């Protein structure tokens, strides 16, 4: 990655920004960083937190772009952070996006949620650039839930299109799907 300035395994043909410098030591990176962005599959989220915990600075702040829930417990990832790391400023970055499109600079809208208001404003400003529109929220459960279940709606919309059910059916599916997500969110404690 250092030589090619791209991640050929996960983002081939997408140039890494000059400010993004690949490193070979996770420990030295974590020890020297206040703000840490985590982007791993949900099944590796807890183990990464356990690994980095002893290296975190006292003023560390965590943001993750990991979608989903912890598979073994069904827990929201902010609950996993609180359990493993303890009381640390944390935020979740989520939204309908694909890494390759973000990397190519295509228009993208995301949401960052955090209960830490002052830091939330700063994190939004860090990510809000060019074609990336970033919204803020205090609803960590709602943003995580939306990020996890939106793909179910996308698949259903794709099936509807594949079966040639038309725009009315797709619109009804999306409208009713959003209502179901709202009800699910309320039942799980989302704002």
- Are 133 and 145 within one domain? no
111 strand-pairing partners? 94, 135
- Are 147 and 117 within one domain? no
Give the domain extent around 115. 1-138
- Are 112 and 173 within one domain? no
- Are 57 and 150 within one domain? no
Position 147 scores a pLDDT of 87
Q: Which of 104, 120, 138 is the last residue of a domain?
A: 138
- Are 106 and 76 within one domain? yes
- Are 76 and 50 within one domain? yes
- Are 126 and 172 within one domain? no
157 strand-pairing partners? none
Position 108 scores a pLDDT of 94
Q: How many CB atoms lie within 10 A of CB 154?
A: 13
* Mean pLDDT value of segment 70-86: 94
Question: Is residue 67 predicted with pLDDT exceeding 80?
Answer: yes
- Are 5 and 55 within one domain? yes
For residues 67 and 94, the answer to whether their CB atoms sit within 8 Å is yes
- Are 63 and 125 within one domain? yes
Q: Tell me how far apart the alpha carbons of residues 157 and 126 are, in angstroms, rounded to a whole number.
A: 33
pLDDT in tens, 12-33: 888 888 878 788 899 999 999 9
- Are 169 and 115 within one domain? no
Q: Tell me how far apart the alpha carbons of residues 102 and 86 are, in angstroms, rounded to a whole number.
A: 31
Structure tokens at 58: 């006292």
Q: Which of 119, 138, 157 is the last residue of a domain?
A: 138
Number of domains forming the structure of the chain: 2
- Are 3 and 70 within one domain? yes
Domain CATH number, residue 113: 3.40.50.720
Q: Which of 123, 138, 153 is the last residue of a domain?
A: 138
Q: Is 67 a catalytic residue?
A: no
Question: Is residue 1 predicted with pLDDT exceeding 80?
Answer: no
Rounded to two decimals, the pTM is 0.86
Question: Is residue 103 predicted with pLDDT exceeding 90?
Answer: no
Structure tokens at 171: 């619109």
- Are 60 and 103 within one domain? yes
Of the candidates 56, 131, 50, 60, which has an alpha carbon nearest to the alpha carbon of residue 91? 60
* Mean pLDDT value of segment 158-177: 92
């Amino acid at each position: 990655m250092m030589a090619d300035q791209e991640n050929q395994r996960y983002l081939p043909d997408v140039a890494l920004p000059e400010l993004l410098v690949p490193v070979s030591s996770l420990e030295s990176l974590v020890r020297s960083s206040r703000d840490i962005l985590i982007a791993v599959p949900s099944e590796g989220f807890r183990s990464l937190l356990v690994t980095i915990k002893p290296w975190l600075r006292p003023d560390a702040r965590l943001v993750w772009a990991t979608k989903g829930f912890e598979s073994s417990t069904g827990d929201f990832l902010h609950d996993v952070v609180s359990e493993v790391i303890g009381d640390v400023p944390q935020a979740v970055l989520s939204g309908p996006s694909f890494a390759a499109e973000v990397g190519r600079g295509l228009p993208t809208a995301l949401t960052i949620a955090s209960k830490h208001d002052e830091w939330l404003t700063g994190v939004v400003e860090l990510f809000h650039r060019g074609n990336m529109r970033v919204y803020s929220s205090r609803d960590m459960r709602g943003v995580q839930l939306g990020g996890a279940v939106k793909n179910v709606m996308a698949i259903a919309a794709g099936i509807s299109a594949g079966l040639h059910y038309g725009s009315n059916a797709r619109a009804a599916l999306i409208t009713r799907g959003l209502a179901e997500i709202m009800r699910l969110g309320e039942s799980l404690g989302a704002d």
